[in-house]
Amino acid sequence: MTVLLDKRSLNKILSLLNQEEIVAFPTDTVFGIGVIYNSANAVNKMKIAKGRDASKPFPLMVADVEQMEEVAYLSDRERKIAEKYMPGALTLVLNKKDTVDDSFVNGFKTIAIRIPDDRFALRLLKKAGPMFVTSANMSGEPAANTHEEVLGQLDGRIAAVVKGEAKSHVASTIIDCTGKELKCLREGTISFKEIRELVHEG
């Protein structure tokens, strides 16, 4: 059975994560489920819980640009984008460093990363370190925005849900930064046109 926790239970949440358990929590976009990033076991458990295609890697959430640079390479262009839009509803696909084992990202040399604009999520990430986080729903089902909606889909499949409601109810914009020119993989509240203009590609 999935346990319902409040945001003051940070030590309990961290304990569950360190035991390779899955925890759902509200973010600035939609509700997410997450695990510590350096555990293949935890990553596999999250794929099973979500019913996700095993070949599809999870994005990473970090607390700040310093954590981002621990796991991925940032050029001046990516640093400029991050400084302007992060924390925020933006995910950058970057070339990963060897600090992230290939098996955690299904052999990909890239990794999708974002910094959430949510006080609780940032506190959690500062304490737990980077986390693999994805939307808190069964694969193919609508994204959850409240802890009740999370329980409606994932009760019994994850260890805990943090009470609350997601802020925007809109998934983040995803930008692939691994090529010479930026590519938009998904547009959310931050427009691709605006990002391209910032780095003089538009």
Confidence of residue 148 (pLDDT cuts 50, 70, 90): very high
Lowest mean pLDDT among 54-58, 146-150, 177-181: 54-58
Total domains in the fold of the chain? 1
Task: Give dist(CA 176, CA 77) in Å, integer.
Answer: 12
Task: Give dist(CA 187, CA 171) in Å, integer.
Answer: 8
Which residue range is the domain that position 173 belongs to? 3-198
Task: Give dist(CA 176, CA 46) in Å, integer.
Answer: 24
Contact 147, 162 (CB under 8 A): yes
> What is the average pLDDT across 66-82?
95
> What is the average pLDDT across 86-110?
92
Task: Give dist(CA 141, CA 129) in Å, integer.
Answer: 28
β partners of residue 23: 34, 160
pTM: 0.94
For residue 202, the model assigns a pLDDT of 62
For residue 12, the model assigns a pLDDT of 97
Any idea what the CATH number is for the domain that residue 92 is in?
3.90.870.10
Q: State the average pLDDT for the chain.
A: 94
For residue 168, the model assigns a pLDDT of 83
Task: Give dist(CA 51, CA 14) in Å, integer.
Answer: 24
